[in-house]
Amino acid sequence: MSPVPPARYLIRAKDLADSRYAEPLGVADLARAARLSPAHFSREFRREFGESPHQYLLTRRLERAAALLRRTDWTVADICFAVGLNSVGSFTTSFRRMFEVTPTAYRAAFPPAAAMALVPGCVVRAYGRPQHRTFREDSSTAGS
């Protein structure tokens, strides 16, 4: 049997970051998934994938945060927590470093999420109609 390449273990950590970014994951959790000590894991991960595990996890979270800013009407704080970060201040700083604007300014540069939602025409027609109608013919009908 041929030996398993180290990348096979490291990819487990990458998969974990990609799928469980919304949970309070850290580099230690990723190292555990790769069955390596944290220090050794960070070196190996960087050598294999060209960036640190911390960076990989953070950019995954920021990529998701950017999508949520564009496509939902959630608050910035809700988005921060939804992608697994627990400090709005740190989130804003990291986001700004990555996208060169604050989360709020980033969102403002795109059309409102509601305008981009694929709400079907049947729903728009039904919900867009006035809900409380009082027409003269209603009362005349009632009286006849």
Partner 1 sequence: MITIGTTQLWVHDQDEALDFWTRKVGMEVRQDVTVPELGNFRWLTVGPVGQPDISIVLMAIPGPPLMDAETTDQVRTLMAKGFAGTVFLVTEDCEASYEELSGRGVEFTEKPEERPYGIDSGFRDPSGNSIRLTQVKPF
Q: What character string, x for contact with partner 1 (CB under 8 A) and - otherwise, covers 42-81? A: ----------------------x--xx--xxxx-------
Residue 124 CB, shortest distance to partner 1, in Å, is 6
Taking a C-beta distance cutoff of 8 angstroms, is the pair 50, 36 a contact? no
Query: Which residue from 55, 77, 117, 138 is in contact with partner 1, where contact means CB under 8 A?
Result: 117
Which pairs with CB-CB distance under 8 Å and at least 24 residues apart come from 118-123?
A: none
Gyration radius of the chain's alpha carbons: 24
Q: Between residues 34 and 68, which has the closer beta carbon with respect to partner 1?
A: 68
Compute the CA torsion angle 105, 72, 23, 5 (nearest 10 deg).
-80
- Number of residues in contact with partner 1, rule: CB under 8 A? 26
Taking a C-beta distance cutoff of 8 angstroms, is the pair 27, 6 a contact? no
Q: Is 71 helix (H, G, I), strand (E, B) or coil?
A: helix
Query: Which residue from 2, 111, 129, 135 is in contact with partner 1, where contact means CB under 8 A?
Result: 129
The site for partner 1 (CB under 8 A) is made up of 18-20, 22, 64, 67-68, 71-74, 82, 113-114, 116-119, 122-124, 126-129, 131
